């Protein structure tokens, strides 16, 4: 059985569906338990594949008939080689926590899940360099390096499910980017199975290596369109000796920018996060049990909140700096903040973080979310949220029957706003009201339509709002060079 599907370069070309003879071949590569298929003779009920065919938000739905769960790089290579010979399209899948529809098929592509590739290959406690299979869950790697007094350079709300391979494939940002920079800097090496099955071994553990083109960078953020990442070498920083956090309640959004400047100046080297949630995001986090609510007195009159984290080498020194900061903020002639709630113990530290980290979870409990993950000038965060809300109001779409909330939160230090629109259901009418409106708004600030979540299936048509024609043309040339058959995650990143 075969069908046509749109190829990334605009040609229409043929992909094959997985058939019984393919399953027979996969049985020569993998043990039976690693093959989940609704194709006879394996014939599982299709509901068994639901967790792989549906994304985290319940927004994107594929109809793969087969999921393969290899354990070794060689098995991944054998699978891909076979798919290339048969023209079977592949979707690499990690923890399936992506928010742009990149991790599920558009049609019936084969899903290659990395979940069984979950072994740490090596860790050097002196250099802090960790080499791990791509399917290792981020939280389990954090737990692995913790006794060696190291942390992962990346942290995000999905850490209990997302894979390090998925993090690299999406170039995930998250909560520690302000301190440790992007994965383009922390990833030292990769092992990748290319779309013809070749294993590209660039799994070096070198801090410095200027031997020509740095090929691994191409796979960081390629969202599985250039190959399947099977292992990652990553530099893990030493654990800070002391971490503190505080939530600051602000009377106006306009105070966020001057506050950021003040906090940077006063905390300097110990500032490790500066995260923003607006009042709606805070209220939803509390409503859905993410962290402990602040007292009524603390939230009274607050238009938004900022979570500040410090990480440093000496507790007394850091606490003194933070206390001095709070005192100077509260005693200023025109205070930028109403109040500050400082964590006093590890449980309170986690609870304050949960108010910020848990917003995505809270949003998903509240309704169906349209998510725009944008880079814009910090001063415009509120304008963009307000303009979107007003636009929806003008279309008569605001209200419990359609759009329930429009909210903003995100990584101030990275200039990254998460604009979320929560609706009772996903509808074409809301979608049409939001797009291209939001993308045009972002383009008017010369911003990015994807700060950290990627393009996936969601934004292929909108790439031109942030990338010019020459850039897109060269992206297509690179795709065609690595994947001339177009079998690797088709319809993602590029149309
Ligand atoms: P998946 O969702 O499985 O896949 C994502 C993309 O990567 C797909 O295109 C897939 O094909 C590709 N892929 C996955 N594994 C591989 C591989 N081994 N080789 C090649 N391609 C692969 N993102 C942020 O950037 N910052 C955040 O703070 C953040 N917070 C989040 C909080 C929550 C609660 C949730 C649900 C998501 C959040 N995300 C965040 C989005 C998501 O968690 C990240 O994009 C994450 O990196 C995806 O990892 P994953 O293993 O789940 O990948
Ligand atoms: C975050 O920063 C994540 O919490 C998710 O990137 C953002 O859900 C979102 O829009
Ligand atoms: Zn984020």
Q: What is the domain-level CATH number for residue 309?
A: 3.30.70.2190
159 lines ligand 2 (CB under 6 A): no
119-163 pLDDT, tens digit per residue, is 999 999 999 999 999 999 999 999 999 999 999 999 999 999 999
Q: Which atom belonging to ligand 2 lies closest to the Cα atom of 411?
A: 2
DSSP codes of every residue in 476-489: HHHHHHH-TT--BS
Kindly report the protein residue whose alpha carbon is nearest to atom 33 of ligand 1: 158
Is the residue at 483 inside a domain? no
- Among 359, 379, 413, residue at a domain's last position: 359
Residue with tokens 């007394």: 316
Residue 8 has pLDDT above 50, yes or no: no
| Atom number in ligand 2 closest to CA 372 | 10
User: Buried b / exposed e across 475-489, counting CB within 10 Å, b at 16+?
Assistant: bbeebeebbebbbbb
Using the atom order of ligand 1, give the atom closest to the CA of residue 219. 20
Look at residue 263 and tell me whether its pLDDT is greater than 70: yes
Question: Looking up tokens 């490790």, which residue turns up?
Answer: 272
CA–CA separation, 23 vs 34, rounded Å? 11
User: pTM of the prediction?
Assistant: 0.96
Condensed to tens digits (0 to 9), the pLDDT of residues 13-58 reads: 589 999 999 999 999 999 999 999 999 877 999 999 999 999 999 9
**pLDDT at residue 413, rounded to an integer:** 87
74, 182: one domain: no
**Ligand with smallest separation from the Cα of 114:** 1
**Ligand 1: does its nearest atom lie under 6 Å from the Cβ of 59?**
no
Tens digits of residue pLDDT in 283-301: 999 999 999 999 999 999 9
Q: Are residue 222 and residue 306 in the same domain, yes or no? A: no
Residue 170 within a domain: yes
CATH classification of the domain holding 61 = 3.30.43.10
- Is the CB of 176 inside a 6 Å radius of any atom of ligand 2? no
Contacts of 157 (CB under 8 A, 6+ apart): 357, 358, 360, 361
Same-domain pairing of 102 and 144: no
Helix (H, G, I), strand (E, B) or coil at 341: strand
Comparing CA positions, the residue from 87, 26, 28, 134 lying closest to residue 36 is: 26
Q: Which ligand is nearest to the CA of 98?
A: 1
The verdict on the CB of residue 369 being under 6 Å from ligand 1 is: no
Residue 418 Cβ inside 6 Å of ligand 2? The answer reads yes
pLDDT single digits (tens) 98-119: 999 999 999 999 999 999 999 9
pLDDT on residue 2: 37
153 lines ligand 1 (CB under 6 A): no
Q: What is the CA 146 to chain-centroid distance, rounded? A: 23
Please check the confidence at residue 60 and state whether its pLDDT lies above 60: yes
- 188 belongs to a structural domain: yes
Same domain, 263 and 353: yes
Domain extent for 72: 2-114
The answer on 305 and 199 residing in a single domain is: no
Structural domain total, the chain? 4
* Interval 293-312 mean pLDDT: 96
pLDDT band at residue 213 using 50, 70 and 90 as cut-offs: very high
Assess whether 16 and 50 both reside in one domain: yes
Residue 434 scores a pLDDT above 70? yes
Q: Whose C-alpha lies nearest to ligand 2, atom 10?
A: 418
Confidence of residue 3 (pLDDT cuts 50, 70, 90): very low
The DSSP 8-state label assigned to residue 79 in this structure reads: H
Q: What is the pLDDT of residues 326-342, one digit of tens each?
A: 999 999 999 999 999 99
484 within some domain? no
Could you tell me which residues come within 8 angstroms of residue 306 by beta carbon, excluding any fewer than 6 positions away?
A: 247, 248, 250, 256, 259, 260, 274, 275, 276, 412
Mutating to test ligand 2, I would choose from 453, 454, 456, 458 the residue with most ligand atoms within 8 A of its C-beta, which is 453
Q: Give the rounded percent of residues in the chain with a pLDDT score beyond 90.
A: 96
pLDDT score, position 136: 99
Band of residue 435 on the pLDDT scale cut at 50, 70, 90: very high
| Per-residue model confidence (pLDDT) at position 13 | 52
Q: Does residue 271 have a pLDDT over 60?
A: yes
Minimum-distance ligand 2 atom for the alpha carbon of 416:
2
Arithmetic mean of pLDDT over the chain: 95
Q: In terms of domains, do 47 and 63 share one?
A: yes
CA 418 – ligand 3 centroid, Å = 7
Cα-Cα-Cα-Cα dihedral sign, residues 298, 302, 307, 313 = negative
Q: Is any atom of ligand 2 closer than 6 Å to the C-beta of 135?
A: no
Nearest CA to ligand 1 atom 10: 103
Residue 11 has what pLDDT? 33
Ligand number, closest to the Cα atom of 363: 2
Q: Is 371 in the pocket of ligand 2 (CB under 6 A)?
A: yes
Spatial distance between the Cα atoms of 184 and 406, rounded to a whole number of angstroms: 32
Q: Which of 184, 212, 235 is the last residue of a domain?
A: 235
Rounded distance, CA 230 to CA 79, Å?
A: 13
């Amino acid at each position: 059985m075969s069908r046509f599907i749109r190829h990334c370069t605009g040609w229409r070309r043929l992909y094959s569906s997985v058939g019984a003879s393919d399953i027979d071949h996969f049985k020569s590569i993998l043990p039976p338990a690693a093959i989940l298929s609704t194709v006879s003779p394996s014939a599982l009920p299709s509901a068994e594949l639901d967790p792989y065919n549906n994304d985290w938000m319940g927004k994107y739905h594929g109809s793969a008939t087969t999921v393969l769960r290899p354990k070794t790089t060689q098995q991944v290579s054998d699978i891909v080689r076979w798919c290339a010979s048969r023209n079977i399209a592949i979707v690499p899948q990690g923890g399936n926590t992506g928010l742009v529809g990149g991790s599920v098929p558009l049609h019936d592509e084969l899903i290659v899940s990395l979940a069984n590739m979950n072994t740490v290959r090596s860790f050097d406690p002196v250099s802090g360099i960790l080499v791990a299979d791509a399917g290792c869950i981020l939280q389990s790697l954090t737990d692995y390096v913790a006794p060696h007094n190291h942390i992962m350079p990346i942290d995000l709300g999905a850490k209990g499910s997302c894979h390090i391979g998925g993090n690299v494939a999406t170039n995930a940002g998250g909560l520690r980017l302000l301190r440790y920079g992007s994965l383009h800097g922390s990833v030292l090496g990769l092992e990748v199975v290319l779309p013809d099955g070749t294993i590209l071994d660039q799994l070096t553990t070198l801090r410095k290596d200027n031997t020509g083109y740095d090929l691994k960078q191409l796979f960081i953020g390629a969202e599985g369109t250039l190959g399947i990442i099977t292992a990652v070498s990553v530099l893990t920083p030493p654990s800070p000796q002391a971490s503190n956090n505080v939530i600051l309640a602000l009377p106006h959004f306009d105070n966020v920018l001057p506050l950021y400047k003040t906090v940077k100046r006063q905390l300097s080297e110990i500032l490790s996060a500066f995260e923003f949630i607006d009042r709606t995001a805070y209220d939803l986090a509390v409503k859905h049990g993410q962290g402990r609510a602040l007292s009524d007195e603390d939230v009274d009159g607050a238009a938004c909140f900022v979570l500040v984290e410090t990480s440093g080498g000496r507790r007394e020194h850091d606490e003194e700096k933070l206390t001095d900061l709070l005192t100077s903020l509260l005693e200023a002639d025109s205070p930028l903040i109403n109040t500050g709630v400082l964590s006093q113990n590890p449980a309170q530290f986690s609870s304050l973080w949960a108010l910020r980290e848990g917003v995505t979870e809270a949003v998903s409990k509240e309704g169906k979310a349209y998510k725009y993950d944008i880079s814009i000038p910090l001063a415009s965060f509120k304008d963009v949220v307000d303009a979107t809300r007003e636009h929806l109001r003008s279309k008569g779409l605001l209200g419990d029957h359609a759009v329930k909330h429009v909210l903003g939160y995100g990584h101030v230090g990275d200039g990254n706003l998460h604009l979320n629109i929560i609706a009772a259901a996903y509808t074409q009418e809301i979608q049409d009201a939001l797009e291209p409106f939001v993308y045009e708004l972002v383009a008017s600030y010369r911003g990015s339509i994807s700060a950290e979540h990627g393009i996936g299936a969601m934004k292929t048509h909108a790439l031109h709002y942030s990338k010019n024609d020459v850039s897109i043309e060269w992206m297509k040339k690179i795709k065609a060079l690595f994947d001339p058959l177009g079998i690797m995650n088709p319809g993602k990143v590029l149309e």
